[in-house]
Structure 1
Amino acid sequence: MDRRPGPTNRTGLVLLGLVLAVAGAAALARGLGLFGDGRASAPVLGAGTHRFADGHGWFWPAVVAAAVVLALLGLGWLSAQRRAPKLPGLTLEPDASAGATHLSAKAVTSALESEIEEYPGVQSARARLLGSSRRPKVRLNVAYSRRADLADLRHRIDEEALRRLCGALERDSVPTVVRLRLVAADR
């Protein structure tokens, strides 16, 4: 099952953007007097709303509670954007009726990390397997020192480590994001 949040996020953001754009345009038009000069200088909340709020002590606490809930939902949504669904393992055979070989993601990423950490100048490597068994993806973070030859390091990651990974996973290619980070001193 591919649980990508992309299409849902785009739809939600488009709808939210349209609602906010319409509300903002209406507020701007009212403030500029396009609905009449009387409405431009009138308070946002009418007298009826003020009377209702004054007559019901729960009104403003309910407004605050609703705002807090919306803020928490927004923060939860925002934090969910940072987390990509981590793949726990892979099934190598496409046809499960003939049997299946399951490979843990930890085994795959540990082997990749160990190999890259042996390259000259590499301080550490962290790999994460994402996506699905049918379409695995790799996110790779490599910290290297000044003594590393960056062009050689990038070439070895691409031509050696990732090619071995593709062979082990029986794939022609595995989409990979490689982040290289220079660290100050050798350990």
Structure 2
Amino acid sequence: MTTRSNSANRTGLTLIGLVLLTAGVGGLLLSAGVFGPDPVSSPVLPEEVRTFAGDTPWFWWAAAAACLLLALLGARWLIAQLRTDRSGQMDLTADPGDGLTHLHAGALTTAVEDEAATIRGITGAAAHLVDRRGQRLQLVVDVADYADITDIRTGLEEQVVPHLRQALDTDLPVDIELRPGRSGRSGRGLT
């Protein structure tokens, strides 16, 4: 998922949760008689509202259109969940007049993961090119309980990242995430 999808999901779920919480609290207060004894014994909906659907011929067509709209919005939301920030390749072209050079993301990330795994104390690593054109690398490293975080960080910053940048001949930004205490897991597909 993209960062944009994540924030939209959180906002939408928060709003839905607040609406449902408000309706639930209102129903509890109504049934407890907080609004007086009359609302407890009377129907929730007035007679005109209860018979509106049966008395209005266009109501069911409007309800069907609303359901179709909700289905389309739901399908759009599901498609948005499938999008990701990950990139399948990296464009290494310095001058388009000289031709195009693309590097497959899997080749790059596997090399970075393998080199990171050689550092003592690292039990697994997962690397991903992100952004639309693969302009940033995310490296997630699982660290053993016994490992020295300072040594691992130094090894990553002074060995893995410079080798990556030297191989690409670019100053590619690298985000490193250390996950302490996750020993004994495979390095592929951690995130």
TM-score (norm 2): 0.61
Indicate conservation of the 8 Å contact 1:136/1:175, yes or no. no
Aligned partner letter, 2:153: R
Q: Does 1:171 align with 2:167?
A: no
- Mapped to 2, the partners of 1:119 and 1:77 lie a distance apart of 40
- Mapped to 1, the partners of 2:169 and 2:155 lie a distance apart of 20
Q: Does 1:153 align with 2:152?
A: yes
Aligned to 2:47: 47
Aligned to 1:34: none
Displacement of 1:93 after TM fit?
Answer: 1.4
Equivalent position SS for 2:146: coil
- Mapped to 2, the partners of 1:75 and 1:162 lie a distance apart of 38
1:14-163 maps to which residues of 2 (within 5 A)?
45-55=45-55, 66=67, 69=70, 73=74, 76=77, 80=81, 84-133=84-133, 136-163=135-162
Q: Given the superposition, is the C-alpha separation of residues 97 and 78 from structure 1 closer, same or farther in structure 2, using an over 3 Å criterion?
A: closer
Q: Given the superposition, is the C-alpha separation of residues 127 and 5 from structure 1 closer, same or farther in structure 2, using an over 3 Å criterion?
A: closer
CA RMSD of aligned residues (A): 4.6
Displacement of 1:78 after TM fit?
Answer: 10
Larger RCO (CA within 8 A; separation ≥ 6):
2
TM-score (norm 1): 0.62
Q: Given the superposition, is the C-alpha separation of residues 184 and 5 from structure 1 closer, same or farther in structure 2, using an over 3 Å criterion?
A: closer
Q: Given the superposition, is the C-alpha separation of residues 140 and 46 from structure 1 closer, same or farther in structure 2, using an over 3 Å criterion?
A: farther
Q: Given the superposition, is the C-alpha separation of residues 186 and 100 from structure 1 closer, same or farther in structure 2, using an over 3 Å criterion?
A: closer
Displacement of 1:105 after TM fit?
Answer: 0.3
Aligned partner letter, 1:51: T
Q: Deviations over 1:41-83 (max 9, x none)?
A: 6977543321123457995xx58x949x46x8299459728x5
- Mapped to 1, the partners of 2:75 and 2:157 lie a distance apart of 38
Aligned partner letter, 1:142: V
Q: Given the superposition, is the C-alpha separation of residues 175 and 160 from structure 1 closer, same or farther in structure 2, using an over 3 Å criterion?
A: same
Q: Given the superposition, is the C-alpha separation of residues 140 and 44 from structure 1 closer, same or farther in structure 2, using an over 3 Å criterion?
A: farther
Aligned partner letter, 1:159: E
Indicate conservation of the 8 Å contact 2:144/2:183, yes or no. yes
Over the matched positions of the two proteins, sequence identity in percent amounts to: 24
Equivalent position SS for 2:84: coil
Aligned residues: 163
Q: Given the superposition, is the C-alpha separation of residues 44 and 117 from structure 1 closer, same or farther in structure 2, using an over 3 Å criterion?
A: same
Equivalent position SS for 1:126: strand
Q: Given the superposition, is the C-alpha separation of residues 182 and 53 from structure 1 closer, same or farther in structure 2, using an over 3 Å criterion?
A: same
Displacement of 1:94 after TM fit?
Answer: 3.3
- Mapped to 2, the partners of 1:184 and 1:175 lie a distance apart of 23
Q: Given the superposition, is the C-alpha separation of residues 176 and 88 from structure 1 closer, same or farther in structure 2, using an over 3 Å criterion?
A: same
Structure 1 unaligned segments of length 5 or more: list them. 32-36
